[in-house]
């Protein structure tokens, strides 16, 4: 707590402890502070070395501390056309698409996700982005198919369920109702949490 209050980076061992034995102490406020410090560190590194991977790391952390607009600004400054690594270009498109999703710029998020998937078709990350965005805009069958593709590429069903629950909790009521019906039609036991949230027995 003293480190985060003083804007000092936590060590790998400290973060590992917070994610395991100390998870009860890793409050939302502490998580946000940790991610903001990490984001600023990687953003400073990017400004100094112009290494796009630093921008990817910065974006990931900015998104986790509700600073997606800052992530979008950093990523928009990178010209991906001159980059040779498909993996790097895909990572940039995916995290940029994630920032666009956070800001509800869904069409741009879908376009970036599609670019990332085209560059790295065996990577689950673009699939999860496309799955999440489609679910949020109400394209439920298409979103489900992208999540299925993500599972085929190594994303676990448990992670999909966690993502779906997070999406469900953030949706407005009409879209939440549609997603509830969609999930319960697939597996009422697996998605029983959606049923409970509706107040149904």
Question: Are 130 and 120 a contacting pair, CB within 8 Å?
Answer: no
Query: Distance from first CA to last CA of the chain, Å, rounded?
Result: 43
Instruction: Note the pLDDT tens digit of each residue in 90-113.
Output: 999 999 999 999 999 999 999 999
Strands in the chain per DSSP E? none
Task: Tell me the two tokens of residue 121.
Answer: 């078709």
Mean pLDDT value of segment 171-199: 87
Task: Tell me the two tokens of residue 2.
Answer: 């003293």
pTM to 2 decimal places: 0.90
Distances (CA, A) of 135 to 110, 164, 171: 12, 8, 10
- The span from the CA of 199 to the CA of 201, in Å, is 7
Task: Tell me the two tokens of residue 18.
Answer: 């917070």
Neighbours of 63 (CB within 10 A): 20
- The span from the CA of 161 to the CA of 191, in Å, is 8
pLDDT of residue 128: 98
Residue closest to 153 by CA, chosen among 106, 191, 116, 179: 116
Instruction: Note the pLDDT tens digit of each residue in 123-167.
Output: 999 999 999 999 999 999 999 999 999 999 999 999 999 999 999
Long-range contacts formed by 133-141: CB under 8 A, 24+ apart: 133/97, 133/101, 133/106, 133/109, 134/110, 135/164, 135/167, 135/179, 136/101, 136/106, 136/167, 136/170, 136/171, 136/175, 137/106, 138/175, 138/178, 140/178, 140/179, 140/182
Task: Tell me the two tokens of residue 163.
Answer: 């993502």
Statement: residue 13 has pLDDT above 50 = yes
Statement: residue 4 has pLDDT above 80 = yes
Task: Tell me the two tokens of residue 53.
Answer: 């991977």
pLDDT of residue 197: 45
For residue 178, the 8-state DSSP code is H
């Amino acid at each position: 707590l003293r480190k985060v209050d003083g804007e000092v980076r936590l060590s790998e061992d400290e973060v590992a402890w917070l994610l395991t034995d100390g998870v009860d102490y890793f409050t939302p406020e502490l998580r946000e502070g940790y991610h903001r410090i990490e984001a600023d560190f990687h953003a400073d590194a990017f400004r100094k070395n112009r290494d796009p991977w630093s921008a990817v790391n910065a974006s990931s952390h900015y998104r986790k501390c509700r600073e997606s607009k800052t992530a979008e600004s950093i990523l928009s400054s990178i010209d991906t056309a001159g980059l040779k690594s498909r993996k790097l270009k895909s990572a940039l498109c995916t995290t940029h698409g994630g920032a666009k999703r956070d800001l509800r710029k869904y069409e741009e998020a879908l376009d970036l996700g599609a670019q990332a998937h085209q560059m790295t078709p065996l990577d689950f990350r673009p699939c999860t982005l496309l799955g999440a965005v489609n679910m949020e805009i109400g394209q439920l069958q298409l979103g489900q198919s992208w999540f299925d593709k993500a599972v085929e590429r190594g994303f676990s069903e448990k992670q999909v369920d966690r993502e779906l629950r997070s999406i469900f909790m953030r949706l407005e009521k009409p879209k939440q109702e549609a997603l509830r019906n969609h999930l319960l039609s697939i597996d009422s036991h697996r998605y029983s949490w959606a049923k409970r949230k509706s107040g149904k027995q």
